[in-house]
Amino acid sequence: MNDNWPALPLEEWKDTCATLHMWTQIVGKVRLAQTPLVNHWWNVPLYVSARGLTTTAMPYGEIFFEMEFDFIDHNLVITCSHGATAAVALEPKSVAKFYQQVMSALSDVGVEVHIWKMPVEIPDPIPFNQDEQHAAYDPEYVNRCWRILRSSERVMQEFRSRFIGKCSPVHFFWGSFDLAVTRFSGRPAPVRPDADPITREAYSHEVISHGWWPGQGPLGKPAFYSYTAPAPEGLSAAKLRPEQAFWSNELSEYLMLYDDVRTATDPEAALRDFLQSTYEAGANLANWDRASLERS
């Protein structure tokens, strides 16, 4: 618990990661159902909390309720402004069983919410109430993941504070299963003709986004990332800090492997350098008005 940058090789917890991804989507879709749309879908993410990930308080009729993944005692805890509470144990169980238990726990505290039961942003999705395939849960690795989110969020909050233009919160997107913070130039972006409504809303304006994710997909390793959208010419050739940071042709974004951060002499300084140098590369090449967007 005192190791703020623990090892997290994806291969050792990939089944747990896939299950937890689906569980966070269930809770995230409750938040989506209960909150009004905010630009760029800022109403849907979860937030790093003192014990895990939380929805923050959400309105329901005359009350408010909150759902928090507690990755210390390993429960999903539901608390309500009228005093009712409920909990669902985080332990090896199928997504289908977890979904049923979450809906039942919400009903027990007087909250009836209907969500679209199909996962998003993954290949071959299985409806939550039918998913018996994902059922792993290793509490040690889940706790490690949360500690990384906690440490990363602290550095990202400091990075965010230097920017006085429009900027997202530091939040956890349950669709892509990543922690992210996004800066905006203030200018609209060209319309993406083939984009779906979700993408059009997310990228309606010029952005430089930074984040961390556990490494699902082609990379297979946890990493910090940065991308500029639309991507200006010459982005792939920019010089970055630290020297371990690089441009990925496969993903079309900057990366720094998590292991290179956690094993650095000063992990927080290494991450700060990655965030700042990748922002500068994108902002300079895209001709952002940095003088008016950054603290002097």
SS3 of 21-79: the string is HHHHHHHHHHHHHHCCCCHHHCCCCEEECCCEEECCCEEECCEEEEEEEECCCCEEEEE
d(CA 158, CA 143): 23
Query: What integer is the mean pLDDT of 44-73?
Result: 98
Evaluate whether 26 touches 51 at the Cβ level (below 8 Å): no
Give me the residues paired with residue 246 across strands: 255
Distance CA 193, CA 266 (A): 44
pLDDT of residue 258: 98
One domain, residues 201 and 109 = no
Are both 114 and 150 inside the same structural domain? no
Instruction: Classify residue 1: in a domain, yes or no.
Output: no
Q: What pLDDT score does 213 carry?
A: 96
Please indicate, yes or no, if residue 106 is contained in any of the structural domains: yes
Report the pLDDT value the prediction gives residue 195, as an integer from 0 to 100. Answer: 87
Q: What is the pTM of this model?
A: 0.96
Residue 4 lies in a domain: no
Residue 201 belongs to some domain of the structure = yes
Which of 78, 106, 130 represents a domain boundary (last residue)? 130
Backbone angles phi, psi at 283, to 5 degrees: -65, -40
Average pLDDT over residues 196-220: 93
Rounded to 5 degrees, φ, ψ at 203 are: -120, 40
Could you tell me if 110 and 43 lie in one domain? Answer: yes
Helix 10-34 to helix 95-108 angle, to the nearest 10 degrees?
A: 30
The pLDDT tens digits of the residues spanning 154-182 come to 999 999 999 999 999 999 999 999 999 99
Task: Count how many domains the chain has.
Answer: 2
User: Alpha helix locations (H) across 162-266?
Assistant: 197-202, 258-262
- Give the three-state DSSP class for 80: strand
pLDDT bin (cut points 50, 70, 90) of residue 296 is confident
Specify whether 103 is located in the same domain as 152: no
The domain in which residue 163 lies consists of 139-293
What is the pLDDT confidence band of residue 192, given thresholds at 50, 70 and 90?
A: confident
- Give a yes or no: residue 213 inside a domain: yes
Q: Is the pLDDT of residue 1 over 90?
A: no
pLDDT in tens, 104-131: 999 999 999 999 999 999 999 999 999 9
pLDDT of 71 over the 80 cut: yes
Do the domain assignments include residue 3?
Answer: no
The whole-number average pLDDT for the span 188-209 is 91
Does residue 172 belong to any structural domain of this protein? yes
81: pLDDT strictly greater than 80: yes
Whether residues 44 and 120 fall in one domain: yes
Residue 2's pLDDT is 63
pLDDT in tens, 6-43: 999 999 999 999 999 999 999 999 999 999 999 999 99
For tokens 């990228």, the residue is 203
Residues 274, 147, single domain; the answer is: yes
Name the residue with tokens 């349950």: 174
Looking at 130, 160, 180, the residue that finishes a domain is 130
Q: Which helix (H) or strand (E) holds 143?
A: helix 139-161
User: In this prediction, what percent of the chain has a pLDDT beyond 90?
Assistant: 95
Q: What's the chain's average pLDDT?
A: 97
Give the pLDDT score at 49. Answer: 98
Same domain, 37 and 179: no
Which residue among 130, 160, 184 closes a domain?
130
Task: Examine the domain organization and report whether 145 and 55 are in the same domain.
Answer: no
Q: Note whether 78 and 154 are same-domain residues.
A: no
* 179 lies in some domain: yes
In this structure, how many other beta carbons lie within 10 angstroms of the beta carbon of residue 34? 18
Q: Are residues 149 and 283 in the same domain?
A: yes
Residue 197 and residue 63 share a domain: no
Give the C-alpha separation, 133 to 117, whole Å. Answer: 15
Is pLDDT larger for residue 192 or for residue 212?
212
Same domain, 149 and 80: no
